[in-house]
Structure 1
Amino acid sequence: MEKKKIHLLHKIHNKLLFMGILAFTVIMAVISCHLLFIYLFPLSGEYKNISVMEPGNEQEWELYTNEQGTIKSLSTADGYSYTGLDYEGQTYYMSRKIQENYSDIILEIDAVTSQISIFLDEDLLYTDNSAADNRIGYVALSHLPKERPNGLRLSLPPDCLGKTLTIAACQPFAEASGDLMTIYPCNVSVYSTYALESLNVSSATKTAYPAILLAILGFFLLSLFLYQCFHREADWGLFFLAFFCLLWMADVIFRSPYFGIYFGYKLDFAEIYLRYGSVSFLMLFLFIRMNRCRKIYLPFVVLQLISLICLYLTNNTTIVFEYPLYGVLLNLPEYAGLTGLLVIFIFMIPELKKGNGFYRMLGIFTVAALAAVPVGAILYALQFIGSSAEMNNWITQYLQSYTTEIRGPYYYMLIVSCFLSFSSFIISLYRFILGVVRKYTSIELLRLKNELAQESYRQLNQYTEQVMMLRHDEKKHFSLLATLLEKNDSEKALEYTYEIIQRADDVTPIVNTQNYMINTIVNSKLSSAMKEGIQITIRHASAPEKLNIADSDLCSLLMNVLDNALAATSLLEEKDRYITLNLYVKNNFLCIYCENGIADKTECKEEKDVEGIKAHGYGLIILEKIVDRYKGILDIKQVNQAFIVNIALPV
């Protein structure tokens, strides 16, 4: 009963320890993520989008043309486009009073392709055309010879509050509509210096975080692939998943607003090829992981690759495609990629039924993700309620802009590919580690088998030698006994007979069942017990050649039973040391009975004795796990000074 209490306390202690470590890990992960995500959001509220198209701003601006003092107002019907130009490419003006009382105001104008001139109360602050007559009403502007990647930023004077800001520009995307022209004013924003720095950090972080993460994942997966190649176990799925991460990383970097500043150039359509190329590698990875549905899924992979070739031909050859066909070829990779990723969730079902381990775990991830959606919505709502007003406004604007942009399949493809890539990485890493552990476990088991076999062989030689010695002296013993009996010295004959019996008992017992593993393990441990002066009794020893239990589990089971018995018995006086073993098959169960003497608690005063009892408890936990794994029966009890373990495992 006391042993069961100790066993139960060990289990409770281990579970509490595991829950404590898990809770600490989750808390640290949440804190770390919070600290990292802080840099994704701007910290200051000294920022305002004062663009004409922004709702509520159109009344603050005046849009007009000025030809040497002749002013003509421009009109709008939708708040986004203005009409009233006299000729295509005519310079137009946007005027507004500075109302923002920021420290160190910085003006940002999203003029990427057109020249602009900026005035403050008719004083020129900046111009792209210094050779022109830079006076309001006389400015003549055109297109920039080279695209300006990130627009224009300009510091305004400290005394700009209340002054009139005038921006002169020309419309780069003008289209004729009768005798009038349509213009689309560029975006205009104002910041404080601190707000701009915060926004720059936020923008850089939004690029750096995913790019760094994808680079780490990609090179890590490549290293795993090279490790497998070195061991002649190449998994091409890891190669495809690694290139998916690396191409996605390149896509993130190409789309960064700072790419043109750092590198000075940008390849045409490079981010498009990288985007859809990464999806192709993800589809190849998922294709490699299939067993039953490969032939059905192959056309989706081929279609995605063909769509990439068509996209390249559309943008990089002299062949001119008509508009309907051009639109189809341009959007085909999006639809093919999204379709190829979505059908994975359909093909996952037959793969599950086929026993595919990868898709079984992917199914678990899918169910968990679907269950996490409402939980995430609740947590987001709580975070939103507790956030500052500035962050709430920023999040609202971000969600509004994101919702507005979700019109094509690319964004849905991005969401699905994020989920599939994250799940695939976790599953692949888990299966890789599991494979390595199994490999080294097999190697360790082979090493242990070899050691036990050598020990069993030495014991068998010792047993054979002892039996041969007894047989060699057998005739001499019988002759001496006959002589003693002839002299009627029965007392001396009886004493000599007991001496011969004692020598026979000193011969190391041998277990000889049909199962090689059981023979090797038990005989090795019995040899160790004999060296410790432990009396061994084997009531019966039989076992089938093949058992429905892995060699590693059988080895762990028998060694823990015998090691626990040896550890407990070694604490006793030599005269009280004994182990009784019984191995037999009954009703399709392999029955293992082991009994050994144990010491009283009062006798366990030394530190090593306490450690032995602790080790005994851990061994019993291992026994329980193995027996539960094979749906067997484990009975542990203590009767007086005897500790008894009964195990029954299905054959």
Structure 2
Amino acid sequence: MKKSLGKFIAEHLVFFICAAAVAGGVVFSLFILSAYTAPLSSGIADLSVQDGNTNGWEVYAEENGKKTPLAYEGGGYCSGLSYPGQAFYASRVMKEAFDEPILQVEGSSVAFSIFLDGELLYTDDPAAGNQIGALNFSGKIVSRIMPLQLTLPPGYSGKTLTIAQSQPFSEKQDWDGSVFFGPVALYGNTALQSIYVAQATQAAYPAMLLAVLGFSLAALFLYQLYHKKVDPGVLFLALFALLWMADTLLRSKLSYYYYGSSTAMAEQYLYFGCFVFLSLFLADRMRRCRRFFLPFVIAQAAAIVLCAVSPLLPYGDFSVFLMTFPQLVSFISILAAIGLSIVEACRGTSFFRLFVKLLIVAAAAFGGVYLVSLIGGTDFHREFNQNMAASFRTGLFYYPLVFLRYFLIFSCFLVTLVEFIRSIVQRNVTLRMLELKNSMAKESYDQLNRYTEQTMILRHDLKKHLAVVDAFLQEGKEQSARDYLRGLNASFGEKAHISNTGNYLIDTILGSKFAEAEQKGIRTKITCGPIPERLPVADMDLCSLLLNSLENAVHAAQKAENRFLAVNIRLKNGFLYYSCENGAGHPAHAAGSARPADGTHGYGLPIMEQIVEKYRGVMNIESTDVSFKLSVAVPAEDFPSGRL
């Protein structure tokens, strides 16, 4: 019953061409969009002091014309200052040549003075002076949210850049003469603009996707609510996506330009809040394990409340623990959700059966990326290992939670989408079934009225017909009497085939389709036995199975020389047995082939195959030069719970 691959492709060639064109357009669009997520590679120079590479910097202290070199300790720290608050300097010859150069120096709480060939270009503390070696910073802490950026004058290349930096007293506890020289970079203006574009798109793309997802789910919730179906799980998933969107935007580097550092706690609440709504969604979908998972959801909400009150407590280990406690609780809750999802899937919950499969697909995809990184020698697997190790070593599970969040949103959204599509299909099928039932009931009623009217007419003329026959017999014209009776019998029409199985749906469908066949000049025959009103086969599936087979049979029989239709339906050995045989005008197939060459039965076969497979039944097709027979047997006893 399977078509060859070549024939399948030929029949769907237009579809494959269109699908390839759409896929090509999507790939091209993604390529164009992804180009803006990475900055330009040219026009960027990292001038930071790194372990094993000073990048040409000389770090020193200078007072009264005497230079004292500082020793590099690693990690950006240098040692050798004489007293706390002493200014120190870092000088290098600028060898880079960028158009519209912009110098970037990072330091959130220190004061800077920047010189080019001894000429002061910028200072945070004008009172400190303007000469290298004679600066006296006031020791004030400069509140700087973003790195310091300074446009260098034309002709800077080849000149000596000197960065003077204060050292606040609070930089390190138990100060030991060390100072921190932060990252320094030089950008061309175009390259710096590309960095801003990349930072914006890296935040905007996922935020827009999450916004579309969240708003779509919210609209779905309202749609279902309008149709009298309340599904709080969809609302929880929508809030999860929207909180994640807000968290993504607030954590982007550009958010500091708009909101400053005032959003730090808001980021925390959004981050932990989205996991609460994700847990609520999963709890709503659980059937057997919900009571075991709800305590985890309550613990998450309680941990967020404790985190919110932690700033009111004296700063110490306990307040720090309360601030990080939601991470631990959320991580444990998500692991519990995954474990209970597997239990739900094993017990037959349809949502989690697909949910777990999608999680496995996502995990397999990640495993493939990890393996490619491992074989190809890229940094992905090393960064993943380092971040995971650091998370479990410190007890701060931010990275694992972010990692799991992507897996879960992928699985949750796809399963919810499948559920919605199923509900729409189910609703449309139900409406179509009602229409079909009404239509078939009307056809049956009209057919019965025609038979009744015909019978009344014949009964009205019965005495006249009998008198004519009696006259022929009295005159000894027996042959004439026989001919008259034959003509009378022909005027009665064909015998009405009325199915009487006891199942209203089956009787209605058979009565309707057989009446149609008889009107088209097809000889019909019904063999049936008692069938209960309630069967383990859903009405919509039974309706689809009968209608597809009968419509195909009537269509094929019309074209055949031997125009007949025979149906046998009954309960047999615990199975609902159904066969439909009709005359056919196509040549017989070669051995092993089951579909007619003219395709008359091929259109509905895939649908019937799916229905029979759904109920663990069997279907057989017999095709000859002059006939086509479809036989189906499905279990007529109730299925065990969870099998369908």
Which of 309, 313, 320 aligns to 2:314? It is 320
Task: Determine if contact 1:114/1:172 at 8 Å carries over to the other structure.
Answer: yes
Report if aligned partners of 1:515, 1:545 keep a CA contact under 8 Å in 2.
Answer: yes
User: Is the 1:86–1:179 Cα contact (8 Å) retained in structure 2?
Assistant: no
Distance 1:626 1:231 in 2: 28
Matches within 5 A, 1:145-164: 147-164=143-160
Of structures 1 and 2, the one scoring higher in RCO (CA 8 A, sep 6+) is 1
Relative to 1, partners in 2 of residues 1:219 and 1:172: Cα closer, same or farther, differing over 3 Å?
A: farther
Q: Aligned equivalents of 1:234 and 1:349: distance in 2?
A: 26
Indicate which of 41, 45, 49 corresponds to 1:48.
45
Corresponding residue to 1:450 among 438, 450, 468: 438
Q: What amino acid maps onto 2:555 in structure 1?
A: A
Give the drift of 1:213.
Answer: 1.2
Cα RMSD between the aligned structures? 3.4
Question: For the structure 1 residues 597 and 353, does the alpha-carbon distance in structure 2 shift closer, same or farther, using more than 3 Å as the test?
Answer: closer
TM-score, normalized by length of structure 2? Answer: 0.87
Farther off after superposition, 194-203 or 518-527: 194-203
1:543 to 2:525 alignment: no
Q: Give unmatched runs, 5+ long, in structure 2.
A: 589-595, 637-644
Partner of residue 624 from structure 1, selected from 603, 609, 617? 609
Deviation at 1:173, TM superposition (A): 6.5
Q: 1:327 to 1:616 in 2, by over 3 A?
A: same
Q: 2:344 — aligned with what?
A: 351
Q: Separation in 2 of the partners of 1:306 and 1:12?
A: 58
What are the superposed Cα offsets for residues 308-348 of structure 1, whole Å, 9 maximum, x if unpaired? Answer: 11111112x3x425x23122212101111111111122222
Match of 2:166 in 1: 170
Query: In structure 2, the residue corresponding to 1:593 is in which secondary structure?
Result: strand
Shift of 1:101: 3.9
Amino acid at match of 1:460: L
Q: How far apart in 1 are the matches of 2:106 and 2:94?
A: 18
How much has 1:373 moved relative to structure 2? Answer: 3.7
Instruction: Please give the residue correspondences for 1:218-237 in structure 2 after superposition, counting only pairs within 5 Å.
Output: 218-237=214-233
Q: In the alignment, which residue of structure 2 is the partner of 1:588?
A: 574
1:490 aligns with 2:472: no
Distance in 2 separating the partners of 1:461 and 1:117: 104
Counterpart amino acid of residue 135 in structure 1: Q
Q: Name the residue aligned to 2:304.
A: 308
Question: Within 5 Å, which residues of 2 pair with 1:290-309?
Answer: 290-309=286-305
The alignment status of 1:474 with 2:462, answered yes or no, reads: yes
User: 2:218–2:234: 8 Å Cα contact kept in structure 1?
Assistant: yes
Q: 1:320 to 1:224 in 2, by over 3 A?
A: same
5 Å-filtered alignment, 1:479-558, equals: 479-506=467-494, 508-540=496-528, 542-558=530-546
Q: Distance in 2 between matches of 1:46 and 1:360?
A: 52
In 1, Cα distance between equivalents of 2:524 and 2:281:
58
Contact 1:466 1:507 in 2 (8 A): no
The 1-side partners of 2:374 and 2:407 are apart by: 22
Question: Is residue 419 of structure 1 aligned with residue 416 of structure 2?
Answer: no
SS at match of 1:495: helix
CA distance in 1, matches of 2:515, 2:475: 41
Q: Single out whichever of 425-434 and 63-72 deviates more from structure 2.
A: 63-72
**One-letter identity of the residue aligned with 1:349:** I
Write out per-residue CA displacement over residues 416-469 of structure 1, whole angstroms, 9 at most, x where no aligned residue: 122112211111111121122112211221121111112112212222232333
What secondary structure, in the 3-state scheme, does the structure 1 residue paired with 2:604 have? helix
Scaled by the length of structure 1, the TM-score of the pair is 0.86
What displacement does 1:403 show? 7.4
Q: Do the aligned partners of 1:88 and 1:176 also contact (CA within 8 Å) in 2? A: no
Contact 1:175 1:182 in 2 (8 A): no
Distance of 1:418 and 1:578 partners within structure 2: 60
Is the 2:106–2:183 Cα contact (8 Å) retained in structure 1?
A: yes
Which letter does structure 1 place at the counterpart of 2:323?
L
Long gaps (5+) in structure 1 = 386-391, 603-610
Aligned to 2:591: none
Q: Supply the AA of the counterpart residue of 2:265.
A: F
CA distance in 2, matches of 1:6, 1:273: 57
* Shift in alpha-carbon separation, 1:459–1:542, aligned structure 2, 3 A: farther
Mapped pair 1:277 → 2:273: yes
Change (3 A) 1:38 1:529: same
Total equivalences in the alignment: 626
Match of 1:646 among 621, 631, 637: 631
Equivalent residue for 1:462, pick from 419, 428, 450: 450
